[in-house]
Amino acid sequence: MPFIKNILKYNSIAVVGLEKNTGKTECLNYILSKIHDRCSCAVTSIGIDGESSDVLFKTHKPEITIYNDMFFITTEKHYRQKKITSEIVDILNYSSSFMGRLVVARAVNTGKTLLSGPPDTANLKRLITQMNTAHNCDLTIVDGALSRLSLGAPAITDAMILSTGAAVSANIPELVRKTKYTCDLISLPKYDNDIAINLKFIKSGVFAIDNDNIIHDLKVNSVFSVDFHSADFFKYGYTFFISGAVSDKIIDKFKTQPFADKITIIIRDFTKVFLTPNVFYSFIKKGGKILVLDKPNLIAITINPWSPSGYVLNSDNLRDELQSEIDVPIFDIKKL
């Protein structure tokens, strides 16, 4: 149980997949099987998870196993479809559209269920807090939906496990490159400054930060409307807070400046980065910096050498190649 002890240090973790069918549900089931008798825990999802088959590839998917005395949170629709005996301990009024309200239940035996938790990160954060305070849960685990890496941000969970594998690419070097790029984004340095707390309250716009740590509103509603030819844009210096997404277009403009090596861009967290690897790495190579207000705590990576298309990668080779590039413990769940 190489990373279970580490998981138990946190109040909440997210298990997220780099792509669909990378083994995150298998990882979740492994974790639940090892911790259910070691702490009071709850499990939920952002989106829907726990289906017995994949809707795209029609392949078998592992169902989510819930153990006796464990809390699970799902919508009314999927609670009625559960294969487990449980007692309802709460009904939460924030709903998930047509699937109804959220049901908080405690299992009274071991069985399987569908998970469909809060559809947005704000309610997910609220739910995690409630499980900790109202139900005395030591740990809440969140199973991430397709392309919802945002739930791994530290504003939502304390720690994160990333699942990758053959579904990302059949070519190990390409798979390693894609996984490393995601890990490099997750590992972006934190903006360590007293004014960081003030930046978190800014909802929109682009702001400059001068040498005295004074925040200046540049009156820019979107990065797409930035005028780099304006003499006013750089008058406060070369440090900027961008409250929304950062795209290739804006970084391409920053990196062509003669003082690109002096530019520092601050963003909320890595999920705001929508850059192709070439643009990201070229900006960093020029000396530009991208810092984050919230940095996830990536505690492990799990690999799935099986692809739903039918091919299988060598698990040991894949792990070794990833481990040579990424300084995070990497595991094949099937081999633990």
Main-chain phi, psi angles of 164, to 5 degrees: -135, 175
Task: Please tell me the predicted confidence (pLDDT) of residue 55.
Answer: 42
* Degrees, nearest 5: CA angle 291-5-114: 85
Q: By percentage, how much of the chain surpasses pLDDT 70? A: 88
- Of 54-68, 98-112, 232-246, 310-324, least confident by mean pLDDT is 54-68
- The tokens for 162 are 């990333």
- The SS3 call for residue 55 is coil
Furthest-apart CA atoms within the chain: distance in Å:
68
Taking 90 as the threshold, does the pLDDT of residue 232 lie above it?
A: no
- The SS3 call for residue 167 is coil
Whole-number average pLDDT of the chain: 88
Contact present, 54 and 95 (Cβ < 8 Å):
no
* Degrees, nearest 5: CA angle 145-148-151: 100
Task: Please tell me the predicted confidence (pLDDT) of residue 162.
Answer: 94
Taking 90 as the threshold, does the pLDDT of residue 209 lie above it?
A: yes
Contact present, 289 and 264 (Cβ < 8 Å):
yes
Instruction: Give residue-wise pLDDT tens across range 58-86.
Output: 444 567 999 999 999 998 988 998 999 99
- The tokens for 290 are 């991208």
CA distance 87 to 97: 23
Q: Does this model's pTM top 0.85?
A: yes
Contact present, 115 and 144 (Cβ < 8 Å):
no
Taking 60 as the threshold, does the pLDDT of residue 168 lie above it?
A: yes
Q: What is the mean pLDDT of residues 155-167?
A: 91
